[in-house]
Chain A
């Protein structure tokens, strides 16, 4: 699959690009060609010997895309093909905001009714100027739980980066959330206990002076949460988790101290006696943006900070191409197994059997 994952912008492109498909109802079209000789450039000027077109889809046939605005939500529900009912999944992206659908579409293609949720830039925040609070996430959970094609007792959550912070918060502290499992990618449990979204973001901003820059002036934010505090009031009490947790972290994550957080989570859960619920997938050479497999890797890219003074920076995500892309393939496969076992598995959540992959 090297022709897919090793893609990068052609020479002369704008710097800091990141490839993400916005419209998931159409495929990504890739032209695969064979040229004579061993070329490194000038492909557009030459006629290939032969070519073929490949379509890469996020939505399997029969998957339904349902925009959701009820309950003040800004979300999109993807339902798998078939009559259902299906296990449900809440899909959360990170600090960049917006409604990002492709992972939820792909998860629905694997049999999970997935709700992609915009929680940083939803309609309600645009109108009121205020960040959402816990009620918003609980409304999203209830929407899934009560949906006629979702199995209300089989709902999980999957979050990346800041989405992890939300996922862990709701898993531990919410009375409404009854999660069957949680997947947290490139995230941390360090945050003010029971803080609102606004409060959590503020706590990060308070450490902004710990921002570093590399030689190319790319932004390194991993130190904002370091060192991992010993004070339990500054971290989600993961010892209170009652469902299996899968942590996926890259050891070269330059954006967030996901690896260090995972180590601390493990210690906390060992002390609390619920360590049997934890599985950690830790990948050397992988960076922050651990995405579904085969899409191109970006070690750094342009990032627009939301807020009162929006600006665009070049943020360093970290990771080395080959190691990161292998990590994405491995992590995705194992994530699907974890979700399948915990959301489709037998009537008793087989916590011991399913959490350790």
Chain B
């Protein structure tokens, strides 16, 4: 057990009081962490601990000094060391990383959204860097972080060849809808849809086709439209107020649908860390082909982590290799990180803006770029991963991919982006004003 400062004489008779308010909250809600009843000028470490669904341990900690009243408040006081520094009310969440000795390349994602994420917040005596599990804390509080608000309903969808999960807000409805599409990792990721439903949107988390199903090209073109219509024809959904939300590969599919589909008309689209670079035609098949063709452009960094951002550079001038974004007729919000090492989203966004400008559609496009932010722009307060293990959908090979970003600016970006995204969705899907693209 190492401590950088000697521990103060804590009288065992006077227990400190640790409070985390609210102790039950949605994952995008902030909490207030404070400690009282410490001796004045006492060095303490605030610590968070979470055991993931894969049984890995994640932790964060900050070094504080109590004030004259024996109090520490994360919203008001500075952390002087640990996994985060400065005045950071939510540092115990966003700066979490796997405990020393963990497997490499881990990523924290909750698959079962019906139960909360349990985080133990504790206060330890002194300024410690390690050994938290080897001694008891002075006090500890359990915090529940939920993806679903009370009353949100979860419905598994298996119809017309579409697989996914629908989340429905509480109340009589009808509600606006969102088609929620993830990246190339595959599988079914529900947590963003669950949270969107907690904010009032009927949201369908879509599971992509397997590679076998992808082989049938015409299946794919109907696949996304069928998914969109499942939302559109749901009795609790307002059919004229459905948006599409895509990350990475999902954003490519979003761009494609917005530009090319004659069947579905989204009211607005959000594309996080996506591009419009994809051979014309069905986006999933096209992306697979693109990956094959550009494999030689993959580089590695000093840790042997794969950098994929050069695959689509330089941005092609060939229109047959790009989605015809000039045909888009709804407001688009692009959210990108300037340190994205996986996909050259910033460069692509510039090209997309030029194409839309040429088509007279510039007023529909809003682009937000965040400095020192990587590819995985996730929900606020979720930990940052600069590189993680990734299984390639086609070959099933596991590699370490470099996503990019520096923890603090990336976490700030996640918080800010989510607010902007919710505001954008609210403006276009809930508001009674006529649609205006620029926020």
Could you list which residues of chain A lie within 8 angstroms of chain B, going by C-beta atoms? 27, 29, 31, 33, 47-55, 57, 60-62, 81-87, 109, 111, 151, 153-154, 340, 344-347
Contacts and interface: CB of A to CB of B under 8 A. Distances in A.
**Which of A47, A82, A153, A345 has the most B CB atoms < 10 Å from its CB?**
A82
Nearest to B123: A82
A73 to B, nearest CB: 25
Contacts of A87: 15
Contacts of A344: 14-15, 17, 37
Interface string B75-106: 00000000000000000000000000000000
A111 B24 contact: no
Contact of B171 (A50, A61, A347): A50
Interface string B133-155: 00011011111100001110000
Q: Which 10 residue pairs are nearest across A and B when measured between Cβ atoms? A: A62-B142, A53-B151, A51-B171, A82-B140, A53-B150, A61-B142, A61-B144, A83-B136, A55-B150, A53-B170
5 contacts: A31-B170, A47-B172, A54-B150, A62-B23, A153-B13
A18 B27 CA distance: 35
Contacts of B13: 151, 153-154, 347
A27 B23 CA distance: 14
B15 A52 contact: no
Contacts of A81: 140-142
Secondary structure call for the B interface: loop
Nearest to A340: B17
A27 to B, nearest CB: 8
A62 B141 contact: yes
A27 B143 CA distance: 16
Nearest to B139: A82
Given A48-B172, A344-B17, A61 B136 contact: no
A82 B137 contact: yes
Contacts of B171: 33, 48, 50-52
A153 B11 CA distance: 14
Contacts of B151: 31, 51-53
A347 B14 contact: yes
Given A81-B141, A151-B15, A340-B17, 5 more contacts: A48-B171, A53-B151, A82-B141, A344-B14, A346-B14
Contact of B150 (A29, A48, A151): A29
Contacts of B23: 60-62, 109
Contacts of B150: 27, 29, 52-55
B149 A53 contact: yes
Contact of A83 (B37, B137, B143): B137
A344 B136 CA distance: 19
Interface in B7-32: 11, 13-15, 17-18, 23-24
B16 to A, nearest CB: 8
Chain B: interface residue count, which band? 20 to 34
A153 B12 CA distance: 12
B214 interface: no
A344 B120 CA distance: 22
A225 B139 CA distance: 45
A50 B143 CA distance: 29
B355 interface: no
B350 to A, nearest CB: 41
B22 to A, nearest CB: 9
A47 to B, nearest CB: 5
A49 B23 CA distance: 30
B118 interface: yes
Contact of B17 (A55, A84, A111): A111
A62 to B, nearest CB: 3
B174 to A, nearest CB: 10
B159 to A, nearest CB: 27
A347 B141 CA distance: 24
Nearest to B19: A111
B139 A83 contact: yes
Contacts of A50: 171-172
**Which of B15, B122, B142, B172 has the most A CB atoms < 10 Å from its CB?**
B15
Contacts of B14: 344-347
A61 B170 contact: no
A230 B247 CA distance: 79
Contacts of A60: 23-24, 141-142
Contacts of A62: 23, 120, 140-142
A51 B170 contact: yes
A82 B122 CA distance: 8
A61 B15 contact: no
A147 to B, nearest CB: 14
Interface string B52-88: 0000000000000000000000000000000000000
A51 B150 CA distance: 11
Interface in B102-135: 116, 118, 120, 122
Contacts of B137: 82-83
Contacts of B139: 82-83
A310 B197 CA distance: 51
Nearest to B152: A53
A85 B171 CA distance: 43
A154 B120 CA distance: 26
A149 B5 CA distance: 29
